[in-house]
Amino acid sequence: MRRRNEYDQEVGFPVANWKGRRFPEKVTIAGDYCVLEPLDCARHAEQLFEAFGREDAGSMWTYLPVGPFRDAEEFQKHVRSLAESTQAVHFAIVNRRTGRAMGSFCLTRIDAENGVAEVGLVVFSPGMQKTVMSTEAHYLLLRHAFESLQYRRLEWKCDVCNEPSKRAALRLGFQHEGMFRQTAVWKGVNRNHHWFSIIDAEWETCSEAFRQWLCDANFENGKQKRALVDIRNGC
């Protein structure tokens, strides 16, 4: 039912006793396959540079505003600047079995007053892509944002040409909201961006799907029995 105020104007639904949320802290978040650690140049830069450089990694950076990096020193400066940022909270994704960093991402564009943040600068090494660990890493970050921080909205944005990122967002449960035109110029190229989101009302369904997908019973000989999207949709 639509609501109207005392001026007979249509308004949104009430959010009782809303108070702004806290800015995300640098915390360690442990899962079964990986650990999210606050990004630290001394601890993670060398490991990430090695992980990212196992193959011709230039294509990893095509749709990002940074990279590729000429050498370890340049990459180290990049990692240090991320780790020292006060506008975003960056995490290294550490393989729990080996203890080595395999990827990184962050919470960025943080609007704590309204409980909104973006999952951004997602860079997963070739050895991490399309693994259970990569899915668990996203689950841990989303769970932290919705349950520990009690945020209302998590966003995902990607270049409209970046089909793998678009597929990943939809697989993880983000809803497509539309395309924003000419949002940036990176590396001398115009960027249009798809916008996606998960809101708090959707998180219970998404969270349960993650838990069922990550369960050992969902895998046989290393292969999934049910896809994450199918579980979420009740198939």
Answer whether residue 37 is part of any domain.
Answer: yes
Q: Looking at residue 177, what is its pLDDT? A: 98
180-209: per-residue pLDDT in tens? 999 999 999 999 999 999 999 999 999 999
Answer whether residue 10 is part of any domain.
Answer: no
User: What phi-psi label fits residue 182: left (phi over 0), alpha (psi between -120 and 50 degrees) or beta?
Assistant: left
Give the separation between CA 46 and CA 213, rounded to whole angstroms.
32
- Number of other CB atoms surrounding residue 57 within 10 Å: 17
93-126: per-residue pLDDT in tens? 999 999 999 999 999 999 999 999 999 999 999 9
- Domain with residue 141: its CATH number is 3.40.630.30
Answer whether residue 84 is part of any domain.
Answer: yes
C-alpha to C-alpha distances, 235 to 120, 166, 223, nearest whole angstrom = 30, 22, 18
Under 8 Å CB-to-CB from 234, ≥6 apart: which residues?
none
Token pair 């219970």 in the structure block, residue: 204
Half-sphere exposure of 169 (CA within 13 A, CB side): 27
Give the number of domains in the chain: 1
Instruction: Write out the residue range of the structural domain in which residue 66 sits.
Output: 22-232
Q: Looking at residue 235, what is its pLDDT? A: 83
50-72: per-residue pLDDT in tens? 999 855 568 899 999 999 998 99
- The torsion defined by the Cα of 22, 27, 30 and 34, in degrees rounded to 10, comes to 110
Q: Is 219 exposed, middle or buried (0-12, 13-18, 19+ CB in 10 A)?
A: middle
Answer whether residue 226 is part of any domain.
Answer: yes
Answer whether residue 13 is part of any domain.
Answer: no
Q: Looking at residue 53, what is its pLDDT? A: 82
Answer whether residue 49 is part of any domain.
Answer: yes
- The structure's pTM equals 0.95
Answer whether residue 15 is part of any domain.
Answer: no
Q: Looking at residue 57, what is its pLDDT? A: 67
What rounded mean pLDDT belongs to the chain? 96
Task: Could you list the beta-strand ranges (E) of the chain.
Answer: 3-4, 10-11, 29-30, 34-38, 89-95, 101-111, 116-124, 153-159, 175-186, 189-199, 219-220, 223-224
Backbone angles phi, psi at 134, to 5 degrees: -65, -40
Answer whether residue 152 is part of any domain.
Answer: yes
